[in-house]
Amino acid sequence: MVISFICLTFATLFAILGIAEISFPETFITFTDKEFVLVIFPKAWKYGLQTGICLVALAALLVIPAWRANRVFTEKVLENHLRLGIGGMFIFASIFKIQSPLTFATLVAQYQFLPEFANNFFALFMPQLELWFGIALIFSPFVREAAFAIFLMFLSFIVALSWALFHDLGITCGCFELEGAQDKAEAWTALIRDLVLIGPNIWLMTRKNKSLITLWKKN
């Protein structure tokens, strides 16, 4: 178990730093924008996305020796972390949209994907789904159902972002902030993040329904 614990600790750290580099640049847990790094590598700030992908890939590789050393413990840790991480992300993403439904509706309209009459309904409905299924993934025993609902939301995000990129709309994804037109690089970043996270979410769909407390009880 010691080997699994060490590998999973570093995997968790690398995954957190990687997702931060991909999704939350210029925050306290990113480092490609830190002054001491830029002194040594002046162009490091340009490569936050690439750095994030490499860190996530390294985290995934560290899971392999952990799984071989102790499969049961590794699976429990992965399920625990993924439920907290993905569920927490969806809860966090919903807050801004619930607080500013009109702004979110305006952003949805910028995608030019839905009929005009559906934009307001979507802007009111989707954040509620994000909030409640995010809560369900963490706190309820129905991990399969919650993960499946989140999987469908991931698919909708991927389709919408691909649509925006294909039509060169140059808008932000509206996932964690409600701003207007942005460089389309932000849409690419959001698309890559969703493609990275949909895999672990699919794995959660295969897990047995149980609460996080029950997960850690001895079989």
Three-state secondary structure call for residue 112: coil
Rounded CA-CA distance 15/21 in Å is 10
Rg, Å, the chain Cα set = 18
- pLDDT above 70 (res 179): no
| DSSP string over 45-81 | GGGHHHHHHHHHHHHHHHHHHHHHH-HHHHHHHHHHH
Read off φ and ψ for residue 25, nearest 5 degrees.
-65, 155
Please identify which residue in the block is written with the tokens 């992300």.
89
Residue 175: name the closest of 110, 85, 107 by CA.
107
* Cβ contacts of 147-151, under 8 Å, gap ≥ 24: 147/86, 147/201, 147/202, 147/204, 147/205, 147/207, 148/205, 150/86, 150/90, 150/201, 151/198, 151/201, 151/202, 151/205
Give the model's pLDDT for residue 82: 94
Give the model's pLDDT for residue 106: 82
CA dihedral 166, 168, 174, 180 (to 10 degrees): -170
Rounded CA-CA distance 211/2 in Å is 25
Q: What is the pTM of this model?
A: 0.85
The mean-pLDDT minimum among 69-78, 137-146, 189-198 falls in 189-198
84-111 residues labelled b (16+ CB within 10 A) or e (exposed)? ebbbebbbebbebbeeeeebbbbbbbbb
pLDDT tens digits, residue range 58-97?
A: 999 999 999 999 999 999 999 999 999 999 999 988 888 8
pLDDT tens digits, residue range 12-49?
A: 999 989 888 887 777 778 888 888 888 888 888 778 88
